[in-house]
A and B are shown apart, each in its own frame.
Chain A
Amino acid sequence: MTDFLLELRSEEIPARMQDKAREDLARLFAAELDKAGLKAAEIVTYATPRRLALIARDLPAQTQAVSEELKGPPADAPDAAVEGFLRKAGLTRDALETREVKGRATLFAVIDKPGRATAEVLAEAIPAIIRAFPWPKSMRWGDASISTESPRWVRPLQGIIALFGDDVVPCAVAGVESGAATVGHRFHHPGVITIGSASDYVEKLRACHVIVDQNERRATIALGAKLAANMAGLTLIEDEGLVSENAGLTEWPVPLLGRFDEAFLDVPPEVIQLTARVNQKYFVCRDAGGKLANAFICTANIDAADGGERIVEGNRKVLAARLSDARFFYETDLKVLLADQAKKLEKIVFHEKLGTVADKVDRVAKLARWLAEEGIVKGADPDLAERAARLAKADLVTGMVGEFPELQGLMGGYYAAAQGEAAQVAEAIRDHYKPVGQGDDVPTAPVTVAVSLADKLDTLFSFFAWGLLPTGSKDPFALRRAALGVIQVLERTGSRLPFKAALELHGWQAVYQRVFDDHAYQQDFLHHYFSSEQLEEERFSDWFERSEDGLWTFARSEAGGRLSQILLDFFADRLKVQQREAGVRHDLIDAVFALGGEDDLVRLLARVKALQSFVGTEDGANLLAGYKRAANILKKEGYDTSATSVIPAQAGIHGAASAGGEMGSGPRGNDDAVDEPTAYDPDLAEAALVGALDVAEPAAREAIARQDFEAAMAALASLRAPIDSFFDQVTVNDADPDKRAGRLALLARVRAAVHGVADFSRIEG
């Protein structure tokens, strides 16, 4: 068994592509081996800026010999058929065998494929891998690029090592011939190195200042940066992304700490950190007090002759230039009031269908004010909420955010505070984008909550009104994230948002606008509102005047009806995804959502949670079992499900007046109709269940009304024993039609009582 080494050396491979390239190399190589029936015991890959390498262990010298058998035409088939078969098999007539198949002499070709030298397989595999390599971006170069057919690689390919054992696997790609030679570190060891085999590759390169293993370089950087910080009495702000990136930029990483002018600490620390990280790939540190220190750690690719003194000095200057630019932006931005900046938003398109950012700001400001005024966000001052919303997007046109878009919100917060806006307003501007995803902080300050909700809701209402919904994995406007953000904020703050009302008051505007801007939609609306004859009238161009009231009504009913249903379904889906992590069962969310009529997510969630703890108890599990049994019987008997599931708890044996017919002849309860006699004497267990329902139904109803879901569940729990006894002792399908009808009605009443709390039919198990 023999090891194989492949090194594809090129000019510098972008850091961000190296991990994926290693995976692709291993995958493509394994596939090539597989085609030849080979499999390596292990495939190891390495990447540095200048090389992509692979070691495959324990390959046999030869592939297995295989014998392939092809069935041909009958022996007495016409010559043409036989000749065709011979061509296919690549044999002559006398090489064929004749065998009996179902009593007929049939021709067979037996093709023996001898084993091939593995080296030969590898020699073919290497060019194939290079040609098929899926770099995110690749290029042509050099003399060969006079044709567009010339080979492509991520950057010019310079060398190939292909060693099977100690032997070179000869091949040539892109004008590069394989061999055993490579080069060491670009400056420490620029000369040629000859590699003996896979076994000395890593160590020979190390001797020439190349750490081939990316994980080792990462560890070196992570540890080196930490030590450098500690030696300076500081704490490194760890950053795995930076560790990887620097490992992808170096073959011999050397972290070095430098200091920058303390005066730059006037610039917000987030700005310093971002400048250092994004532009220069530096780590930063905290001082003993936890504040950002005036230090940076760069990762050099060389053991400098002077210990790195000049490298640090050079890097310090670059950072100083960057920071003075940042300070220039900061100071320039500070001079313009956010309210003045906000005017420039009129020139920025938010979305081609949805107007400018200024239009959005206007909608958000009204919505934020409404959320505060209606007390939906408790404790938010409506004036401050509106003010914050009007300024929240102004930093988008500042120099700093132009330079670093990731600082949106944050910079607005700094500028607002410096320009004398109320602290709550500045805070709301800063945090209104939050939460961005599951792990992010959820705002709780009332003014911030109002703006955060209003911003996200406006985005959702607007895009939904235009039917611009996420599909599959595509969510270009981050609507799922916006909905998740709304859920997180509502849940965290316990804010009670009536979705439908919000949509009717705010979302309708987008529908209204769409009628003007979207021709097809306009036709829908017109046909909805006018007859075909009216539409075909010659002078119908004044449709707007004729239909203004109608349009207004149409938009509101669209928003309140169809749109609100789509949105609520969307929220239900987001809620399921979000709550899955918290261990909430999606079927329980469905069970609660299925009741309909509830658009308050906080209340829905409280109900789901109460339901989850209830079905986890013994009472809950048994009640569920009893419910399912009852529901099954009703289903089997064709008992009118639509009526019973909609008619609330007083249906069934209470509900003679409303239900009528068969149900009307059943036994009655004793709360509102005691004087009416039953048609038969109920069994003990039957009477007990009636009694239990008489107590549980109103108790559950009242508990639901005061949003005490635990109490509602407790009320349901009291039904468990009577239901069990009922099923133990009573025959539903009695010969007496009165009894049978009465008992079915009783089961329907049980089902209805349960449905008053949640749709148990949606619950799994």
Chain B
Amino acid sequence: MNATSTDAPLSFQDMILRLHSYWGARGCAILQPYDMRMGAGTFHPATTLRALGPDPWNAAFVQPSRRPTDGRYGENPNRLQHYYQYQVILKPSPPDLQELYLGSLAAIGIDFTRHDIRFVEDDWESPTLGAWGLGWEVWCDGMEVTQFTYFQQMGGFDCKPVAGELTYGLERLAMYIQNVDNVYDLRFNDAGVSYGDVFLENERQMSTWNFEVADTDTLFDLFRKAAAECENCLAAKLPIPAYEQAIEASHIFNLLNARGVISVAERQAYIGRVRDLAKGACTAYMEKNAEGWKARFANWSAA
């Protein structure tokens, strides 16, 4: 069913559909994007929370990712404050994960006899999630197209078992496959819609809002409220809503950062606050599930 690389290059949406069908055929649950603003696919509860505990979990999804400081008012051909990540999480990590991954690149039209694929050391760490892993950035002709990570810790807990996480930068991959120099020139579909048609105006307005307009008093207030609500959820032993509030606080912090109102000294304090919230949610998630895990995995322990 896979088209070969001799076909015309895939449109942006067809590339996503091809990845869905590739990973869906390999046992992944194909999820839809999480309906919250977040900086990366890793924040999706299907990654962060599901990386915890002994249950196997295989999922793939697109997650819109917001990085307010990367906004360039639509004027930079490569940088966006809103872009898409394609995320695959496989737990426990299968022994042929690299081959599976390369298979997905072939499925979207990358020809390994003409392109140079490299696995370049890049250890991943998310101070805001209390998480780290070892892996690589995957280069295709010198361009980083995927972050490939074996999670070792999440929310301060050892991953038992380890999950393999693949994060594809969809726009970069599409620019590569379609051979365009400007992200806005990407063919979104094969019916004449470009990426620019969909997102250029969005980038202009959102960059302006992120950098210039967003009311900082409101943002500070939102941060405080999200943090408080997270605590409220934790007190009620509700890890999933608590985690949502941690995601919210994290994004508000990124917005404050883009507005340039957080000093270097304060920065660490904010990151620490968000980390504590996320860790608190992870801890609550572990506690909530402890009994069920114990019943199903006799010898398993969190520590």
Footprint of B on A, CB under 8 Å? 11-12, 14-16, 49, 137-148, 154-156, 158, 186-187, 249-250, 280, 282, 298, 300-302, 304-306, 310-311, 313-315, 317-321, 324-325, 328, 347-349
Q: Are B76 and A328 in contact (CB under 8 A)?
A: yes
Q: State in angstroms the CA–CA spacing of A12 and B97 once bound together.
A: 13
Interface size for chain B: under 10, 10 to 19, 20 to 34, or 35 or more residues?
35 or more
Q: Are A347 and B263 in contact (CB under 8 A)?
A: yes
Question: Shortest beta-carbon distance, B110 to chain A, in Å?
Answer: 11
Q: State in angstroms the CA–CA spacing of A250 and B97 once bound together.
A: 20
B115 sits at the interface (CB 8 A): yes
Q: Are A318 and B162 in contact (CB under 8 A)?
A: no
**A-facing mask of B68-103, CB < 8 A → 1, else 0?**
000010001111000000000000111101100000
Residues on the A chain within 8 Å of B159, using CB: 140, 145
Footprint of A on B, CB under 8 Å? 54, 72, 76-79, 92-95, 97-98, 112-121, 123, 133-136, 140-143, 150, 152, 158-162, 164, 176, 181, 263-265, 297, 299-300, 303
Question: Shortest beta-carbon distance, B166 to chain A, in Å?
Answer: 13
Q: Are A301 and B116 in contact (CB under 8 A)?
A: yes
Q: Are A11 and B119 in contact (CB under 8 A)?
A: yes
Q: State in angstroms the CA–CA spacing of A347 and B264 once bound together.
A: 7
Q: Are A302 and B162 in contact (CB under 8 A)?
A: no
Q: Are B134 and A304 in contact (CB under 8 A)?
A: no
Closest residue of chain B to A49, judged by CB? B119
Q: Are B152 and A140 in contact (CB under 8 A)?
A: yes
Residues on the A chain within 8 Å of B161, using CB: 140, 142-146
Residues on the A chain within 8 Å of B140, using CB: 314
Residues on the A chain within 8 Å of B78, using CB: 321, 324-325
Q: Are A142 and B142 in contact (CB under 8 A)?
A: no
Residues on the B chain within 8 Å of A347, using CB: 263-265
Q: Are B141 and A310 in contact (CB under 8 A)?
A: yes
Residues on the A chain within 8 Å of B264, using CB: 347-349
Question: Shortest beta-carbon distance, A319 to chain B, in Å?
Answer: 7
Closest residue of chain A to B140, judged by CB? A314
Q: Are A12 and B134 in contact (CB under 8 A)?
A: no
Q: Are A304 and B114 in contact (CB under 8 A)?
A: yes
Known A15-B121, A142-B92, A147-B160; judge A156-B150 contact (CB<8 A): yes
15 contacts between A and B (CB under 8 A): A139-B134, A139-B152, A141-B150, A141-B162, A142-B162, A143-B161, A145-B162, A155-B150, A156-B97, A298-B142, A300-B116, A302-B115, A310-B114, A311-B116, A328-B76
Question: Shortest beta-carbon distance, A269 to chain B, in Å?
Answer: 20
Q: Are B116 and A302 in contact (CB under 8 A)?
A: yes
Known A156-B95, A315-B141, A324-B76; judge A145-B160 contact (CB<8 A): yes
Q: Are B160 and A148 in contact (CB under 8 A)?
A: yes
Q: Are B141 and A318 in contact (CB under 8 A)?
A: yes
Residues on the B chain within 8 Å of A148, using CB: 158, 160, 303
Question: Shortest beta-carbon distance, A113 to chain B, in Å?
Answer: 39
Q: Are B162 and A139 in contact (CB under 8 A)?
A: yes
Question: Shortest beta-carbon distance, A212 to chain B, in Å?
Answer: 18
Q: State in angstroms the CA–CA spacing of A325 and B78 once bound together.
A: 9
Closest residue of chain A to B120, judged by CB? A249
Q: Are A317 and B117 in contact (CB under 8 A)?
A: no
Closest residue of chain B to A256, judged by CB? B116
Question: Shortest beta-carbon distance, B74 to chain A, in Å?
Answer: 14
Residues on the B chain within 8 Å of A147, using CB: 160, 299
Q: Are A314 and B118 in contact (CB under 8 A)?
A: no
Q: Which of A186, A310, A321, A325 contacts B115 (CB 8 A)?
A: A310
Dominant SS among interface residues on chain B? loop
Residues on the A chain within 8 Å of B94, using CB: 142
Known A146-B54, A304-B113; judge A314-B143 contact (CB<8 A): yes
Q: Are A16 and B121 in contact (CB under 8 A)?
A: yes
Question: Shortest beta-carbon distance, B153 to chain A, in Å?
Answer: 11
Question: Shortest beta-carbon distance, B262 to chain A, in Å?
Answer: 10
Closest 3 CB pairs of A and B: A314-B141, A14-B121, A12-B119
Residues on the A chain within 8 Å of B72, using CB: 328
Q: Which of B77, B95, B120, B263 contacts A324 (CB 8 A)?
A: B77
Residues on the B chain within 8 Å of A145, using CB: 92-93, 159-162
Q: State in angstroms the CA–CA spacing of A234 and B73 once bound together.
A: 38
Q: State in angstroms the CA–CA spacing of A319 and B144 once bound together.
A: 12
Given contacts A302-B113, A328-B72, 12 further A-B contacts (CB under 8 A): A142-B93, A143-B92, A146-B161, A280-B142, A302-B116, A304-B115, A305-B113, A314-B142, A314-B176, A315-B142, A315-B143, A324-B76
Closest residue of chain B to A14, judged by CB? B121
Known A12-B136, A14-B121; judge A314-B150 contact (CB<8 A): no
Q: Are A301 and B142 in contact (CB under 8 A)?
A: no
Q: State in angstroms the CA–CA spacing of A143 and B299 once bound together.
A: 14
Closest residue of chain B to A348, judged by CB? B264
Q: State in angstroms the CA–CA spacing of A280 and B77 once bound together.
A: 19
Question: Shortest beta-carbon distance, B170 to chain A, in Å?
Answer: 16
Question: Shortest beta-carbon distance, A724 to chain B, in Å?
Answer: 70
Closest residue of chain A to B144, judged by CB? A318
Q: State in angstroms the CA–CA spacing of A298 and B123 once bound together.
A: 23
Closest residue of chain B to A302, judged by CB? B116
Q: Are A321 and B92 in contact (CB under 8 A)?
A: no
Q: Are B112 and A187 in contact (CB under 8 A)?
A: yes
Question: Shortest beta-carbon distance, A142 to chain B, in Å?
Answer: 6
Q: State in angstroms the CA–CA spacing of A280 and B79 once bound together.
A: 18
Q: State in angstroms the CA–CA spacing of A598 and B298 once bound together.
A: 76
Question: Shortest beta-carbon distance, A523 to chain B, in Å?
Answer: 29
Residues on the B chain within 8 Å of A318, using CB: 141-143
Residues on the B chain within 8 Å of A12, using CB: 119-121, 136
Residues on the B chain within 8 Å of A14, using CB: 121
Q: State in angstroms the CA–CA spacing of A319 and B78 once bound together.
A: 12
Q: Are A319 and B142 in contact (CB under 8 A)?
A: yes
Question: Shortest beta-carbon distance, A259 to chain B, in Å?
Answer: 14
Residues on the B chain within 8 Å of A304, using CB: 113-116
Closest residue of chain A to B99, judged by CB? A190
Q: Are A146 and B92 in contact (CB under 8 A)?
A: yes
Residues on the B chain within 8 Å of A143, using CB: 92, 161
Q: Are A325 and B162 in contact (CB under 8 A)?
A: no
Q: State in angstroms the CA–CA spacing of A15 and B139 once bound together.
A: 14
Residues on the A chain within 8 Å of B150, using CB: 139-141, 155-156
Q: Are A321 and B77 in contact (CB under 8 A)?
A: yes
Question: Shortest beta-carbon distance, A264 to chain B, in Å?
Answer: 14
Q: State in angstroms the CA–CA spacing of A318 and B136 once bound together.
A: 18
Q: State in angstroms the CA–CA spacing of A315 and B297 once bound together.
A: 48
Q: Are B116 and A11 in contact (CB under 8 A)?
A: no
Closest residue of chain A to B263, judged by CB? A347
Closest residue of chain B to A148, judged by CB? B158
Residues on the A chain within 8 Å of B141, using CB: 310-311, 313-315, 318
Q: Are B95 and A142 in contact (CB under 8 A)?
A: yes
Q: State in angstroms the CA–CA spacing of A137 and B125 once bound together.
A: 13
Closest residue of chain B to A248, judged by CB? B121
Q: State in angstroms the CA–CA spacing of A201 and B218 once bound together.
A: 67
Question: Shortest beta-carbon distance, B149 to chain A, in Å?
Answer: 10
Q: State in angstroms the CA–CA spacing of A154 and B134 once bound together.
A: 9
Residues on the A chain within 8 Å of B133, using CB: 139
Question: Shortest beta-carbon distance, B263 to chain A, in Å?
Answer: 4
Known A145-B161, A349-B264; judge A317-B134 contact (CB<8 A): no
Q: State in angstroms the CA–CA spacing of A186 and B162 once bound together.
A: 24
Q: Which of B77, B114, B121, B152 contacts A311 (CB 8 A)?
A: B114
Known A156-B93, A347-B263; judge A146-B115 contact (CB<8 A): no
Closest residue of chain B to A306, judged by CB? B114
Residues on the A chain within 8 Å of B162, using CB: 139-142, 145
Residues on the B chain within 8 Å of A11, using CB: 98, 119
Question: Shortest beta-carbon distance, B24 to chain A, in Å?
Answer: 23
Residues on the A chain within 8 Å of B263, using CB: 347
Q: Are A311 and B115 in contact (CB under 8 A)?
A: yes
Closest residue of chain B to A143, judged by CB? B92
Question: Shortest beta-carbon distance, B25 to chain A, in Å?
Answer: 21
Q: Which of B134, B136, B300 contacts A146 (CB 8 A)?
A: B300
Residues on the A chain within 8 Å of B76, using CB: 324-325, 328
Q: State in angstroms the CA–CA spacing of A373 and B123 once bound together.
A: 52
Residues on the A chain within 8 Å of B97, using CB: 156
